[in-house]
Amino acid sequence: MTRDGNRRAKDGRDQAELTEYRRRRDVDRSGEPTGSGAIGDEPQFVVQRHDASSLHFDFRLQIGDVLVSWAVPKGPSLDPREKRLATRTDDHPLAYADFEGSIPPGEYGAGTVVVWDRGPLQNRTRHDEQDISLEDALVAGHLRVELFGEKLTGQFSLTQTRIRGNDRNWLLVKVDDDDADRRRKPERTQPESVLSGRTNDDLKD
């Protein structure tokens, strides 16, 4: 396949991956982005604190050219003893990594969103002493990444489960490495955005 053919095929896959994202939203009303655009020289992660019908954290990893996303009700923990439920949601465009704002009533996900943490990530997934791509790890239902954020650092694992009979449910767990911390609770004590310093309450007010 030619380079142009490869690019068209990749663009087609990206469009398909974002079909559900676009179907659920009126972006003219919500102000949410649709563009793809690179967000860094290396893969990135973003965690958005989303005060919607219930407060939760949207944990997003750049895999390919989309942000693969999970909703984490209690937020990511630095304590390796804590297993956090993470429910897979629709993939988001890369431009969403910068999104902060108030999604109006009546729209999907109505509520306030701030960028709670963000930074580069490195894939640390291995099986039988072989490196596994994040794309393949996602299909296999287990991945491990190292995060280089302001609040979240070190390795985290995500493992698909059958909790409540739903294969969209995963478990997010901090790996017990040098960055693990059983006392610090940034998901409770640091609600502010790493981009703007604002909190969800600031966007309500």
pLDDT values of the chain reduced to their tens digit, one per residue, 205 residues? 444 444 443 444 444 578 888 887 878 787 778 766 656 678 999 999 999 999 999 999 999 999 999 999 999 999 999 999 999 999 999 999 999 999 999 998 999 999 999 999 999 999 888 999 999 999 999 999 999 999 999 999 999 997 777 889 999 999 999 999 999 999 999 999 999 999 999 999 8
Domain range list for the chain: 3-204
User: What whole-number distance in Å separates Cα of residue 116 and Cα of residue 48?
Assistant: 5
Q: Is 1 exposed, middle or buried (0-12, 13-18, 19+ CB in 10 A)?
A: exposed
User: What whole-number distance in Å separates Cα of residue 66 and Cα of residue 46?
Assistant: 12
The answer to whether 40 and 46 are in contact (CB under 8 A) is no
- 36: alpha, beta or left? (left if phi > 0; alpha if psi -120 to 50): alpha
Q: What is the DSSP string of 75-91?
A: ---S-TT-EEEEEE---
